[in-house]
Structure 1
Amino acid sequence: MHIYKISASSHSQSPKPLRYAVLGAGFAGLSVTWHLLQHTSKESHVCIDIYDDAGIGGGASGVSGGLLHPYSPKVKPLWRSMECWEESLKLLSIAEAAVEPNKLNGGSQELGHDSDDFIVRRRGIVRPAASLKNLDLMNENAQNCLAGCRIESVDKEAAERLVPNLSVPCNLAFYMPEAVNVHPQRYLELNFLLFFPPFFDHQALYSACQDLVKDTSVSDLHRKELNLHKKTVNNLLELSGEYDSVIVCMGARAASLPELSERLPLRTCRGVIAHLQLPDDIRESYPQHGPSILSDAWLAIHGPRDIRLGSTWEWKSKNYSQNVTVEEALKALEELLPKASAIYPGIKNWDYIAAKAGLRAMPPLTSHGSLPLLGCIDEYLKGKQTCKFWLFTGLGSRGLLYHAWLGKLIAQAVVSSNEDVIPSELIAWKSRMK
Structure 2
Amino acid sequence: MPPPPPPSSLPPRFLPSLVSCSMRATTSASTAAAAAAAAYMTSPAGGGNGGGGRPLRYAVLGAGFAGLSVAWHLLKHSPRVRVDIYDENGIGGGASGVSGGLLHPYSPKVKLLWRGGEFWKESMDLLRSAEQANGAAGSDGTGQEENLIWRRQFLSCLQSCSLQVLDSDEAQCLVPGLRVPLNFAVYMPLALNINPKKYLQDLFFACQNMSGEALLSSSEQKECRLYKEHIADLQQFAGDYDSIIICLGAKASSLPELTNKLPLRNCRGVIAEFQLPSDTVETYGSQSPSILSDAWLAFQGPRTVSIGSTWQWKSENYSSAVSDDEALTTMEELLPKASVVYPGITKWKFVQARAGIRAMPPVTSNGSFPLLGCLDNLIGKRSNCSFWLVGGLGARGLLYHGLAGKLTAKAVISCDESLIPSEFTYWKEP
With the length of structure 2 as denominator, give the TM-score of the two structures. Answer: 0.83
Cα deviation 1:168-203 (Å, max 9, x = unaligned): 1111110000001010011012xxxxxxxxxxxxxx
Range with greater deviation from structure 2 (206-215 or 232-241): 232-241
Return the letter of the residue paired with 2:59.
A
Which one of the candidate residues 123, 130, 135 is aligned to 1:100?
Answer: 135
Q: Does 1:390 align with 2:402?
A: no
> 1:407 maps to which residue?
405
> 1:428 maps to which residue?
426
> 1:18 maps to which residue?
56
> 1:162 maps to which residue?
174
- Please give the alpha-carbon distance, in whole angstroms, between the structure 2 residues aligned to 1:313 and 1:64: 13
- CA change 1:405–1:383 in 2 (3 A) is closer
Q: Does 1:36 align with 2:34?
A: no
Which one of the candidate residues 333, 336, 339 is aligned to 2:337?
Answer: 339
Which one of the candidate residues 227, 230, 239 is aligned to 2:237?
Answer: 239
Return the letter of the residue paired with 1:413.
A
* Ranges in structure 2 where 5+ consecutive residues have no aligned partner: 1-50, 152-157
Deviation at 1:426, TM superposition (A): 0.3
> 1:10 maps to which residue?
none
Give matches, 1:21-420, under 5 Å: 21-41=59-79, 44=80, 46-74=81-109, 76-100=111-135, 115-121=144-150, 148-189=160-201, 204-218=202-216, 222-382=220-380, 384-420=382-418
Alignment RMSD (CA, Å) = 2.0
Return the letter of the residue paired with 2:393.
L
Answer whether contact 2:121 2:159 (CA < 8 A) is retained: no
Deviation at 1:64, TM superposition (A): 0.2
Identity within the alignment, %: 56
> 2:18 maps to which residue?
none
- Please give the alpha-carbon distance, in whole angstroms, between the structure 1 residues aligned to 2:147 and 2:68: 20
- Please give the alpha-carbon distance, in whole angstroms, between the structure 2 residues aligned to 1:115 and 1:86: 27
Deviation at 1:236, TM superposition (A): 1.2
Tell me the SS of whatever aligns to 2:425.
Answer: helix
- CA change 1:168–1:228 in 2 (3 A) is same
- Please give the alpha-carbon distance, in whole angstroms, between the structure 2 residues aligned to 1:419 and 1:73: 32
- CA change 1:220–1:230 in 2 (3 A) is farther
Deviation at 1:16, TM superposition (A): 2.6
Tell me the SS of whatever aligns to 1:398.
Answer: helix
Answer whether contact 2:137 2:145 (CA < 8 A) is retained: no
- Please give the alpha-carbon distance, in whole angstroms, between the structure 2 residues aligned to 1:220 and 1:261: 44
- Please give the alpha-carbon distance, in whole angstroms, between the structure 2 residues aligned to 1:121 and 1:384: 45
- Please give the alpha-carbon distance, in whole angstroms, between the structure 2 residues aligned to 1:81 and 1:351: 36
Return the letter of the residue paired with 2:64.
G
Tell me the SS of whatever aligns to 2:270.
Answer: strand
Tell me the SS of whatever aligns to 1:290.
Answer: coil
Answer whether contact 2:137 2:149 (CA < 8 A) is retained: no
Answer whether contact 2:137 2:150 (CA < 8 A) is retained: no
Cα deviation 1:196-254 (Å, max 9, x = unaligned): xxxxxxxx111111111111234577411111110012111221111000000000000
Q: Where does structure 1 differ by over 6 angstroms across 4 or more consecutive aligned residues?
A: none
- CA change 1:305–1:102 in 2 (3 A) is closer
Cα deviation 1:286-330 (Å, max 9, x = unaligned): 111110000000000101101001100000001111111111100
Answer whether contact 1:14 1:220 (CA < 8 A) is retained: no
> 1:137 maps to which residue?
none
Tell me the SS of whatever aligns to 1:275.
Answer: strand
Deviation at 1:75, TM superposition (A): 6.4
- Please give the alpha-carbon distance, in whole angstroms, between the structure 2 residues aligned to 1:274 and 1:299: 10
- Please give the alpha-carbon distance, in whole angstroms, between the structure 2 residues aligned to 1:59 and 1:213: 25
* Ranges in structure 1 where 5+ consecutive residues have no aligned partner: 1-12, 104-113, 123-145, 190-203
Return the letter of the residue paired with 1:254.
A
- Please give the alpha-carbon distance, in whole angstroms, between the structure 1 residues aligned to 2:97 and 2:137: 26
- Please give the alpha-carbon distance, in whole angstroms, between the structure 2 residues aligned to 1:155 and 1:411: 44
Answer whether contact 1:15 1:221 (CA < 8 A) is retained: no
Answer whether contact 1:120 1:187 (CA < 8 A) is retained: no
- CA change 1:75–1:267 in 2 (3 A) is farther
> What is the number of equivalent residue pairs in this alignment?
370
Answer whether contact 1:40 1:415 (CA < 8 A) is retained: yes
Return the letter of the residue paired with 2:357.
L
- Please give the alpha-carbon distance, in whole angstroms, between the structure 2 residues aligned to 1:224 and 1:332: 45
- Please give the alpha-carbon distance, in whole angstroms, between the structure 1 residues aligned to 2:64 and 2:382: 30
- Please give the alpha-carbon distance, in whole angstroms, between the structure 1 residues aligned to 2:382 and 2:411: 21
Return the letter of the residue paired with 2:409.
A
